[in-house]
């Protein structure tokens, strides 16, 4: 799978795989936006949220079932896919299904994970850790490139600001554009308010985050979306309503 690097890309989907019905609802809207607006779109959902705060929180259907559900989305809707991996053994199986392997922010320094992702031959999208500078992402980027990665992207998702808060330094976007050909703004995770048994957030700021990132040169945008975000099983507070995705995409095009 290749993408036109002269055009923006939009990655969207529910934070975690909940049901085939939610996946289909989101995929149908992404196909509509692709066809009506000519947008490059990628479907994203996680098969396992290994970083949930509470042991009792919903994590997803797991590797085998989750990859089958993602494969069903691709077969039914013809959308390219991405999902995240948390352990290196997952990379090979994930690479057989998705087009882009995503590295979570807090794992972006894990050498074995980056090498395994590179060896899939798929695009690798590395999220910048909340505790790292933009300039320091060159080391994670080089680990993938030097391990045979075909194409590597970087994603901005906010920086830790004291306890239980994130801020976005939009200068990170042009700084990372000096490293990678595509830099994506994670417009929903960047409005999180970490802390407590359930992560909080401010989804009302998502459209502005996207527009600010565009002004700083982002050429990709990531949105967690859900038909009923208040009842989403992960990241509810910062997830964008699916019905609002069109207006946001139009503002960026």
Tell me, what's the pLDDT at 94?
98
User: How far is 12 from 53, CA to CA, in rounded Å?
Assistant: 23
Percent of the chain surpassing pLDDT 70: 99
pLDDT at residue 201 in the model: 80
Structure confidence at residue 240 (pLDDT): 97
pLDDT at 196 over 80: no
pTM (two decimals): 0.96
- What does the pLDDT read at residue 2? 81
Asked whether the beta carbons of 134 and 172 are under 8 A apart, the reply is yes
**Is the predicted pLDDT of residue 20 greater than 70, yes or no?**
yes
State pLDDT tens for residues 113-132: 999 999 999 999 999 999 99
User: Which is more confident, 228 or 234?
Assistant: 228
Which residue is it, tokens 């069903």?
A: 72
Q: Are 99 and 80 in contact (CB under 8 A)?
A: yes
What pLDDT score was predicted for residue 52?
77
Mean pLDDT score, 18-36: 98
Q: Taking a C-beta distance cutoff of 8 angstroms, is the pair 70, 97 a contact?
A: yes
DSSP 101-124: EEEPGGGTT-HHHHHHHHTTTSEE
pLDDT of 147: 98
Superfamily of domain 9-252: Aldolase class I (3.20.20.70)
Kindly indicate the confidence band of residue 182, based on its pLDDT and cuts at 50, 70 and 90: very high
Burial of 22 (0-12, 13-18, 19+ CB in 10 A): buried
Kindly state the average pLDDT of the residues 201-218.
96
At residue 198, the pLDDT reads 67
CA neighbours closer than 13 Å in the CB half-sphere of residue 81: 25
**What is the C-alpha to C-alpha distance for residues 125 and 110, in angstroms, rounded to an integer?**
14
């Amino acid at each position: 799978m290749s993408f036109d690097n002269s055009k923006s890309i939009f990655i969207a989907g529910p934070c975690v795989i909940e049901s085939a019905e939610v996946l289909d609802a989101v995929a149908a809207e992404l196909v509509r936006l692709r066809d009506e607006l000519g947008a490059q779109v990628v479907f994203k959902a996680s098969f396992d949220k290994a970083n949930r705060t509470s042991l009792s929180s919903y994590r997803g259907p797991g590797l085998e079932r989750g990859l089958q559900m993602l494969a069903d989305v691709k077969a039914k809707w013809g959308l390219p896919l991405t999902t995240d991996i948390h352990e290196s053994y997952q990379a090979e199986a994930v690479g057989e299904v998705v087009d882009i392997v995503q590295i979570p922010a807090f794992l972006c320094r894990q050498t074995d994970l980056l090498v395994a992702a590179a060896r899939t031959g798929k695009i690798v999208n590395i999220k910048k850790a909340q505790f790292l500078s933009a300039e320091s992402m060159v080391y994670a980027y080089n680990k993938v490139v030097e391990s045979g990665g075909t194409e590597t992207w970087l994603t901005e998702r906010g920086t830790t600001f004291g306890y239980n808060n994130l801020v976005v330094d939009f200068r990170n976007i042009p700084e990372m554009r000096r490293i990678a050909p595509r830099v994506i703004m994670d417009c929903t995770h960047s409005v999180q308010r970490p802390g407590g048994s359930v992560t909080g957030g401010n989804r009302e700021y998502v459209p502005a985050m996207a527009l600010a990132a565009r002004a700083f040169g982002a050429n990709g945008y990531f949105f967690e979306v859900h038909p009923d975000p208040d009842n989403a099983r992960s990241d509810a507070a910062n997830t964008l309503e699916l019905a609002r995705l069109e207006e946001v995409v139009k503002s960026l095009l």
